[in-house]
Chains A and B, each alone.
Chain A
Amino acid sequence: MSKSEHKSGELAISVQHLGLVYKTTIDRRPTLKARVRTLGRGTKHTRIVHALDDVMLDVPYGSVLGVVGANGAGKSTLMRVISGILPPSHGRVEVYGKVSTLLALGVGFNPSLSGRENVQLGGLAAGMSRRDIEDHFEEIADFAELGDAIDAPMRTYSSGMFARLGFSVAVTVRPDILIVDEALSTGDAKFKEKSLNKIKELRSEDRALVLVSHGLGTIREVCNEVAWLHKGKLIQRGEPNKIVDAYEKFLKVGKSAAIDEDV
């Protein structure tokens, strides 16, 4: 976990003509039985989903990109492609640095283990080494403000405690690039404030951040740039206040000629 060596302004993420089309099963649970039963009848078991369409984005180091959009706009999908979870169908994504993702809280946590053991597990899942985790354990525990509960099994945690520990682990990985999807909306007001400050602090350390949020206030406050996605397409990107205003207006109106022209 060396200090970030990237200079502000250098390219962190470059998304070029990104498209993602995937086949997904229609059946809730794909089974052999269903396959055999419909054999020869030409029934389709998969459908095609166009999740992203020709998205272009650059994120330089030292900046925070906010991503806004209605449900199903492809925000989470975009984050998954950038973090290497989903392979793109078209285009190319280049990532210049170590990525840490916070797409869902407490991934890899096992509720029957104590918070302490889960920090190990979650840290290893995020790609830290055992040593790194030991060295930073105090920091993680302090930030999560769990007190003695750190040694209690995680199934006894409230959802806020769970979220706090998940957030602490993700930000302590010290990534070059941090991708946060809706994680700030959990926890009480005090922790929200604290995590927001942490995000700002990471920003000042010449990292690159991508923040997906429905909290438009947060987006206005911390981002340098905002991208607005709708139905897999990049509608607008630019200065936060301008884009968020346009997005808010769109939410109120519900429809906009510019967006729906070719949908």
Chain B
Amino acid sequence: MKPVPVEVYEPFKAGLPPLRRYWRLLWARRAFISEYSRSELHEKHFDSVFGQVWLILNPLLLSGVYFLLIVIIGGQSDKFRYGHLTASLFLFYFVANSMTAGSKSVVKGQKLILNTAFPRIMLPISAAYISFIRFLPTVLVFFVIRTAMGFPFGWAMLWAIPVAAITGILALGLSILISCANVYFRDIGSFLPYFSRTWLYLSPILYEVSALKPKLRSIEAFNPLFPILDSWSRSIVRNEAPQAASLLQGLAWALGILLVGTYFFLSRERDFAVRV
């Protein structure tokens, strides 16, 4: 009786690998994803004196800078504006960090890619996961701020959870898409800071959606973060339910980017070993 081969490697055609098998392999490596992410976090944060405290200190200092800018220098007494800004900024940094980390993930994992067989998509997934872990303490910091400033509490705040989940999908999709693009064009990493800075200004962070000139409202249609940030600010800052249309629009963007990114990544990843 001839035994059945466990693995067969043949020339691959363009397009996707068998998805069910790929998913199984990825699932089998989930412990590695978390361990790998943990080691990256460890490397980033344990070398400094404050260690893990930086994860909290960083958003705290950031919000302090904006407090100085808006409340003290700007003389704005509108506490909601400050709340909106910090909350939105923290969410924005979740997405932006995921992009930056994602762009480096595949090239950084070069040694792993050249010497071990594993689903390569693990690398940008772990980059997005790390950004999520770094996002969590900022939520905590925001809760301290909003309690101190006496914002209304209520059940509508729970809407922030699905909004954060949608943001997570978007962050993951961008991480995957950019990590793949960066293999072919290494200077994407240098463009990213300018890109995310522009994106920051085009998003309702330093201003609220209602304050935007009607003429400029058209950017809303091209910015995935627009509906997401609006929903986020409404729920977590003002304790209001977000508009269903915004939520759906945000979700559609996030899923769209995730699908496109994953498609590109999976159809390209077998080429990575000779490209990195």
Contact = CB atoms under 8 A, between A and B. Distances in A.
B185 A112 contact: no
Interface residues of B, number: 40
A171 B188 CA distance: 39
Given A31-B186, A94-B8, A129-B31, A107 B116 contact: yes
A83 B6 CA distance: 12
Interface in A83-134: 83-99, 101, 103-104, 107-108, 110, 112-113, 117, 120-121, 124-127, 129-130
Nearest to A23: B274
A30 interface: yes
A85 B115 contact: yes
Contacts of B78: none
A113 B42 contact: yes
A25 B36 CA distance: 29
Interface string B38-61: 011011001100000000000000
A85 B188 CA distance: 25
Interface string B102-126: 0000000001111111100000000
A24 interface: yes
Interface stretch (B9-17, B81-89, B131-139, B224-232): B9-17
B187 A124 contact: no
A120 B39 CA distance: 11
B214 interface: no
Nearest to B43: A112
B252 interface: no
Contacts of A31: 185-187
A255 interface: no
Given A22-B274, A30-B186, A110-B43, A81 B9 contact: yes
B21 interface: no
A33 interface: yes
A32 interface: yes
A97 B274 CA distance: 25
A11 interface: yes
Contacts, number: 124
Interface string B180-201: 0000111110010000000000
B32 interface: yes
Interface in B211-250: none
Interface residues of A, number: 50
Contact of B116 (A23, A25, A90, A101): A101
Contacts of A194: none
Given A24-B275, A85-B117, A103-B115, A127 B9 contact: no
B186 A112 contact: no
Nearest to A90: B11
A120 B36 CA distance: 10
Interface string B1-25: 0011111111110000000000000
Contacts of A14: 5
Contact of A94 (B5, B39, B117, B187): B5
Nearest to A84: B117
Given A30-B186, A33-B187, A112-B43, A95 B111 contact: no
A121 B36 contact: yes
A86 B6 contact: no
Interface in B166-189: 184-188
A81 B115 CA distance: 11
Given A85-B114, A88-B9, A101-B115, A32 B187 contact: yes
Contacts of A88: 9-11
Interface of A: 10-11, 14, 22-25, 29-33, 35, 80-99, 101, 103-104, 107-108, 110, 112-113, 117, 120-121, 124-127, 129-130
By Cβ-Cβ distance, the 4 closest A-B pairs, closest first, are: A84-B117, A124-B32, A94-B5, A32-B185
Given A124-B29, A127-B29, 19 more contacts: A14-B5, A32-B187, A35-B185, A86-B274, A87-B10, A87-B270, A90-B11, A92-B9, A93-B8, A95-B5, A95-B7, A99-B7, A99-B117, A103-B115, A107-B115, A108-B111, A108-B112, A113-B43, A127-B28
